[in-house]
Amino acid sequence: MRWLSGTRTALFAAFASMSVLLLSAMYIGGSIARDIELLEYKKQYYKDQSYKLAYAVQTQLKSGPLPEDQLQMLKDLSSVYTFAYRYYAADGTTVMYDSAEQRPRSAKPYEFDVPIVVDGSTVGYIITYVDLGKRDSSYYPGAGMESSRHHLALFAGLLVFALIASLVLARRLSQPIVRTGKAAERIASGYRNTEMPMAGTNEIRQLAHTINVLIREFDRQEGWRQQMMQDLAHELRTPLTSLLSRLEAILDGILPSTEENMHKIHTEIERLCRLVDDLEKLSDAEGARFQLNIQRVDMSQLVRDVYEGFVFMSKAKSIRLTFQKPHVPCYAEVDPDRIIQVISNLLSNAIKYTPSGGAVEVGLYPARNEIVVYCQDNGIGISETELTLIFNRFYRVDKSRSRHNASGGIGVGLSIAKALVEAHGGMIGAESVLGKGSKFYFCIEAAD
């Protein structure tokens, strides 16, 4: 019974119901309009017949009492016309002749009053009595028009056509949905290389496109996850192996327990702590498991404080670090500690990937109702392909360099920065030209 709840059945039922209701309304409305039209036709027909009767009478009658031959003429006319009538004298009350006594009672009686004029004076009146509800071809020639058989046949034909059209339309509209459902079942079964068919209405095509994008994004995330697990295993294995080797060597007496060896062990432990700290920060940032201590902050002073903290690091690499101060006050309602964390990450990356003799500039400026904080360098730059991936978790532009660099991380710094900026309702982005440098920036709402 699964097909009863299917999309095709639902669409067919909907289209068929609408068709039946529409055709029924058209049939009932048409029948009412036809009855009204036929009623007016009957009235006009009997009115014309009444005038014909009056004309036949007035050409034979004369003023005064009716002789036998005129009475016989009136009787003869009553057998010619299918309706009953009465002939009144000029006073309008004296009945001179009445054929209505011989007629059965009418279901829908209707009367017409026609004067009889002879030699310029009214000699009497003829009142005809007709039954508008009678349907008999012998009663009036338009009786055949009242037959509803051909209307019923037309209604039945249109109904059959509507049902067939509903079935065809339901099949056509449901086919893309059915194919999309089957493709979704294959994807759920593990065949993630299945593409959703781009067919059907705009909404169905948009749904299929969105699912395809999600699948591709899921595949990318899965690739990053696998890469992260490999990187994480390597990051853990390298210091642990080094620690284990040195400790075993010291325990076995191969290496002396000198300050230098202890310092190397301490360096590896710091590396492990930094790795765990980065993972914890990323988890907190992406899970929004932190509280923002919002304050009204002078962003110019905040950026300057971070800049001054990196001056000695830049001098150690012979990098010229400058601060571009805005010409107007820039205030924002932010968590200063979190924003310092973001700016520090951008500055640290800029100095790390800028060669000796290079330049790094950090600054800010107002833009409409926002404040833009930026960090620009003339370092190695980032390719256009990698530029779209740098804010993804565990993605590193130079994996080998970061892995073998003691200060290198596992590619979560920019992910943390992105999460922190978005927690403030802002946006972070980057521009870069490979071999010429990069510019990282973020925008936050300015305070009133």
Q: Are 70 and 59 in contact (CB under 8 A)?
A: no
Matching CATH number, 200-291, of 3.40.50.300, 1.10.287.110, 1.10.287.130, 1.10.10.10: 1.10.287.130
| Average pLDDT for 321-341 | 92
CA–CA distance, 83 with 53 (Å, rounded to integer): 10
Location of each CATH 3.30.565.10 domain in the chain: 292-447
CA–CA distance, 189 with 335 (Å, rounded to integer): 45
Which residues contact residue 119 at a Cβ distance below 8 angstroms, ignoring those fewer than 6 apart?
Answer: 63
Which residues contact residue 441 at a Cβ distance below 8 angstroms, ignoring those fewer than 6 apart?
Answer: 372, 373, 374, 375, 428, 429, 430, 431
Confidence of residue 153 (pLDDT cuts 50, 70, 90): confident
pLDDT at 420 over 50: yes
Q: What value does the CA radius of gyration of the chain take, rounded to a whole number of Å?
A: 49
Span 262-283, pLDDT tens digits: 887 887 787 778 777 766 766 6
Q: Are 351 and 313 in contact (CB under 8 A)?
A: yes
Beta strands per DSSP E along 165-288? none
Location of each CATH 1.10.287.130 domain in the chain: 200-291
What order of strands is seen across the sheet that includes strand 95-98? Answer: 95-98, 84-89, 121-131, 109-118
Residue 214 pLDDT: 82
Q: Write down the pTM of the prediction.
A: 0.47
CA–CA distance, 362 with 25 (Å, rounded to integer): 74
**Under CATH, what is the fold of the domain 292-447?**
Heat Shock Protein 90 (3.30.565)
Tokens of 148: 């509803």
Q: Are 369 and 345 in contact (CB under 8 A)?
A: no
pLDDT at 403 over 60: no
Span 203-260, pLDDT tens digits: 777 888 888 888 888 877 777 677 667 766 766 776 777 778 878 888 888 888 888 8
> Which DSSP state fits 394?
T
